[in-house]
Amino acid sequence: MANEEVILQVKNLQTYFMVDEGIVKAVDGVSFDLHKGETLGIVGESGSGKSVTNLSIINLIPNPPGKIVGGEVLFRGKDLLKMPQDEIRQIRGNKISMIFQDPMTSLNPYLKVSTQMVETIMLHQKLDKKAAKEKAIEMLMLAGIPAPEKRIDQYPHQFSGGMRQRVMIAMGLSCNPEILIADEPTSALDVTIQAQILELMSDLTKRLGTAVILITHSLGVVAGTCDTICVMYAGRIVERGRTADIFENPRHPYTQGLIRSVPRIDKENAYRLYSIQGQPPNVIDLPDCCPFYPRCDRAMDICKKKYPVSVKAENGSAVSCWLYAEEH
């Protein structure tokens, strides 16, 4: 990355959900830095805490049952978690905006696209209605929607899935945010549309200098779009580093297994795919050990007793695994 300015710092974030069965430690000690203009990928399986991490960043965890019990989220030095409601609302949607997986549920089906976009822009940018609409049309044009001056007065159901996601991107970027959080933005889309949307996102964010946090379960998507990657497992980041380093030299057994278990179109696959044995853990009342050890083929005694410390390497990557810890 050319720019080393850190705009978002997440420090030891902990988000728990109190449910009848016990405490779900959905996010348990997540830390990472986001630099200006960087695209950071968060990969993990369902239930690993990817989405909760990002909802916690913008303080949108439903309380109860959820609660951010610890940690800091520093946006330009200010802790978003301690900010009063009206102050964080100035940031949410304006400086930090979001795109969700299913564009149909995040757009209001009763309102025209223009109403929804103009509302956001007027609220955050102090523009009058006319100027806001012009801005909205300009953003839709950037997002590659043909005839935006006509389409803007249509309702969400009149757009196809890919087009709706374009509207969401246009809306998300309309206030020139510094950070765009995209939660599985292409998982509901077909491959050819996915390619369009990813290209559009990386193109636009590069042009506007927006940093992106991209949440996905697809290793292919992160390989093509992200500068850095965080791999999450059972509420924690188990490995973090530059995309090229992680794919070339994955160190955590989980990351290794994940990369090996994906069938490839560019290679001949073996008769049997590599697969990680067992099931992802239930995150209710997890003991303080490595959550991956029951599935790990290199598990040691210590793995059952203590959660591994994070070990940093020279290239800036970090891994939480006892295999790399010097002293036990």
In contact, 42 and 213? CB cutoff 8 Å: yes
Q: How far is the CB of 200 from other proteins (least distance, A)?
A: 9
Of 178 and 184, CB closest to other proteins: 184
Per-position DSSP letters for 86-153, written without gaps between them? HHHHHHBTTTEEEE-S-HHHHS-TTS-HHHHHHHHHHHHH---HHHHHHHHHHHHHHTT-SSHHHHTT
Q: How far is the CB of 39 from other proteins (least distance, A)?
A: 12
Helix 129-142 vs helix 113-125: crossing angle, to nearest 10: 110
Q: How far is the CB of 328 from other proteins (least distance, A)?
A: 27
Q: How far is the CB of 34 from other proteins (least distance, A)?
A: 19
In contact, 258 and 219? CB cutoff 8 Å: yes
Of 106 and 243, CB closest to other proteins: 243
Cis peptide before 65 (omega within 30 of 0): yes
Q: How far is the CB of 307 from other proteins (least distance, A)?
A: 20
Tokens of residue 188, six digits: 């509901």
| 84 CB neighbour count, 10 Å cutoff | 7
Phi, psi (rounded to 5 degrees) for 110: -85, -15
Of 2 and 191, CB closest to other proteins: 191
* Interface ranges with other proteins (CB under 8 A): 45-46, 160-163, 190-196, 199, 217-224, 243-244, 247-248, 257-259, 261-266, 268-269, 271-277, 279-280
Return d(Cα 5, Cα 97) in angstroms, integer: 19
Of 175 and 198, CB closest to other proteins: 198
Please enumerate in sequence order all residues whose Cβ is within 8 A of that of 159, keeping only pairs 6 or more positions apart, or say none: 113, 151, 167
Tokens of residue 182, six digits: 């995209």
Return d(Cα 256, Cα 241) in angstroms, integer: 14
Of 262 and 313, CB closest to other proteins: 262
Of 57 and 189, CB closest to other proteins: 189
Of 93 and 250, CB closest to other proteins: 250
Cis peptide before 281 (omega within 30 of 0): no
Of 43 and 237, CB closest to other proteins: 43
Q: How far is the CB of 239 from other proteins (least distance, A)?
A: 15
Please enumerate in sequence order all residues whose Cβ is within 8 A of that of 143, keeping only pairs 6 or more positions apart, or say none: 166, 167, 169, 170, 173, 200, 204
Q: How far is the CB of 21 from other proteins (least distance, A)?
A: 13
Q: How far is the CB of 48 from other proteins (least distance, A)?
A: 9
